[in-house]
């Protein structure tokens, strides 16, 4: 097979997402498997060039994975004509400026969400990229999770009949950092640094709802900060200025209603860290990251409300496991592969900067809805 390399500048690669999901689980995994088979006798092999602020961290990361190129000079990397793609997994607040530079340098770009801290910025990025004629993609990893792929299969197979409602429960306890270290970076809890659960999670809910059930047409949210003080990576106390929980109701095109709770101040009594229950006239399903269980109308038991007696039915056992019927790769890697095909072969790719802007829009409107205490229409975006 002929080998074609694609050089990718990876910024923010020392962070949680950049390191584990994008570098190790996606691009290094692709290299290990011999590259991406383009189907024309060519294997596309990614060649990461690590970019960041701290030379020492980049150097040790590169050494750990046998990589040879890293730089703290983004401008110089972008000026390198052999770099085809710019990837960004920096903190959210640093993203917009870097993406603009990459567009101006004519690089294709692939980026973590949210693409910007405000809708105007996100739309401007989409417009600039379109005008520049570059290929662009935004991470929408949840769509590639086994649980949601199986759920999508049920939707596409007409399993639900008319979909009535979607209920999502996302969250887990994020330690405050005092007696146990916090398992998320402290900037997530500071609004001034681009933190907050609405900004973080509503972009995910936008594309999940949109791709599976229909575009979000209105939002009503209540965002709050349950834990007002936390300790940072150095053990220093700080004020949590960003929301750490949001309770949202979303109307969807087609008439279904979605209600999603997102919280970093909740303890898990669920099978997975996120679960969606979908109820339709013909059947229901509960999907998590990996599993999906369904209950058809014909197999629906008839519970009768009687609080005087202990429950005799084992409700969870009344559901049927939806089979995998195939192998599922890591969701981030699966999306990278589609994007790389888009760049190399021009195959269609729908999760672009305009799709990313819809996520930013929903987060912005969610926060406004919460601040103003009212339901807001979500206008359809165009370039």
Ligand X SMILES: NC(=O)c1ccc[n+]([C@@H]2O[C@H](COP(=O)([O-])OP(=O)(O)OC[C@H]3O[C@@H](n4cnc5c(N)ncnc54)[C@H](O)[C@@H]3O)[C@@H](O)[C@H]2O)c1
Judged by CB under 6 A, the chain residues 98 through 117 that form the site for ligand X are 112-113
The distance of Cα 302 from the centroid of its chain, to the nearest Å, equals 37
Does position 335 interact with ligand X (CB under 6 A)? The reply is: no
For the bound state, the minimum distance from the C-beta of residue 339 to ligand X, rounded and expressed in Å, comes to 14
For the bound state, the minimum distance from the C-beta of residue 189 to ligand X, rounded and expressed in Å, comes to 12
Task: Supply 371's token pair.
Answer: 């601040």
One of 29, 43, 45, 91 touching ligand X (CB under 6 A): 91
Q: What are the CA-CA distances from residue 199 to residues 28, 136, 195, 341, 379 (Å)?
A: 29, 21, 7, 29, 18
Site string for ligand X, 135-154 (x = CB under 6 A): ----x-x-------------
Residue with Cβ nearer ligand X (52 or 147): 52
Contact 110, 336 (CB under 8 A): yes
Give the integer Cα–Cα distance in Å for 114 and 3. 33
One of 5, 17, 80, 191 touching ligand X (CB under 6 A): 17
One of 200, 243, 244, 275 touching ligand X (CB under 6 A): 200
Helix (H) or strand (E) holding 296: strand 292-296
Using only C-alpha atoms, what is the Rg of the chain?
A: 22
What is the residue-wise DSSP string for 170-212? EE-BPP-SSSS--SS-GGGG-GGGT--HHHHHHHHHHHHHHHH
Does position 16 interact with ligand X (CB under 6 A)? The reply is: yes
Does position 125 interact with ligand X (CB under 6 A)? The reply is: no
The distance of Cα 368 from the centroid of its chain, to the nearest Å, equals 21
Contact 13, 52 (CB under 8 A): yes
Judged by CB under 6 A, the chain residues 47 through 66 that form the site for ligand X are 52-53
One of 6, 8, 10, 14 touching ligand X (CB under 6 A): 14
Site string for ligand X, 165-194 (x = CB under 6 A): --------------------x---------
Does position 334 interact with ligand X (CB under 6 A)? The reply is: no
Does position 12 interact with ligand X (CB under 6 A)? The reply is: yes
Contact residues for ligand X, defined by CB under 6 A: 12, 14-18, 52-53, 89-92, 94, 112-113, 139, 141, 185, 200
């Amino acid at each position: 097979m002929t080998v074609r390399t694609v050089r990718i500048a990876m910024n923010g690669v020392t962070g949680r997402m950049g390191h584990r999901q994008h570098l190790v689980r996606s691009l290094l995994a692709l290299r290990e498997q011999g590259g991406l088979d383009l189907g024309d006798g060519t294997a596309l092999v990614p060649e990461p060039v690590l970019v960041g602020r701290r030379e020492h961290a980049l150097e040790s990361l590169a050494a750990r994975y046998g990589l040879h190129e890293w730089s703290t000079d983004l401008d110089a990397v972008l000026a390198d004509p052999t770099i085809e793609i710019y990837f960004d997994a920096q903190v959210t607040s640093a993203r917009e400026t870097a993406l603009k530079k990459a567009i101006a340098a004519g690089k294709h770009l692939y980026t973590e969400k949210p693409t910007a801290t405000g809708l105007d910025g996100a739309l401007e990025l989409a417009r600039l990229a379109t005008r520049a004629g570059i290929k662009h993609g935004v991470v929408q990893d949840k769509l590639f999770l086994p649980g949601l792929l199986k759920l999508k299969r049920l939707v596409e197979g007409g399993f639900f009949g008319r979909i009535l409602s979607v209920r999502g429960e996302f969250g887990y306890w994020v330690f405050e950092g005092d007696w146990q270290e916090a398992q998320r970076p402290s900037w997530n809890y500071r609004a001034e640094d681009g933190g907050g659960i609405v900004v973080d999670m509503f972009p995910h809910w936008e594309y999940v709802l949109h791709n599976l059930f229909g575009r979000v047409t209105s939002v009503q949210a209540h965002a709050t900060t349950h834990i007002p003080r936390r300790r940072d990576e150095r053990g220093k106390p700080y004020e949590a200025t960003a929301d750490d929980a949001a309770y949202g109701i979303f109307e969807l095109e087609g008439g279904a209603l979605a209600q999603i709770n997102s919280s970093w101040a909740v303890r898990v009594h669920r099978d997975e860290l996120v679960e969606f229950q979908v109820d339709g006239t013909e059947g229901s399903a509960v999907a998590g990251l990996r599993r999906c269980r369904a209950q058809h109308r014909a197999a629906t038991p008839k519970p009768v409300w009687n609080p005087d007696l202990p429950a005799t039915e084992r409700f969870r056992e009344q559901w049927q496991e939806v089979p995998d019927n195939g192998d599922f790769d890591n969701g981030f890697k699966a999306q990278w592969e589609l994007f790389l095909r888009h760049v190399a072969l021009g195959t269609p790719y729908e999760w672009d900067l305009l799709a990313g802007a819809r996520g930013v829009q929903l987060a912005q409107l969610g926060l406004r809805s919460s601040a103003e205490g009212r339901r807001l229409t979500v206008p359809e975006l165009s370039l």
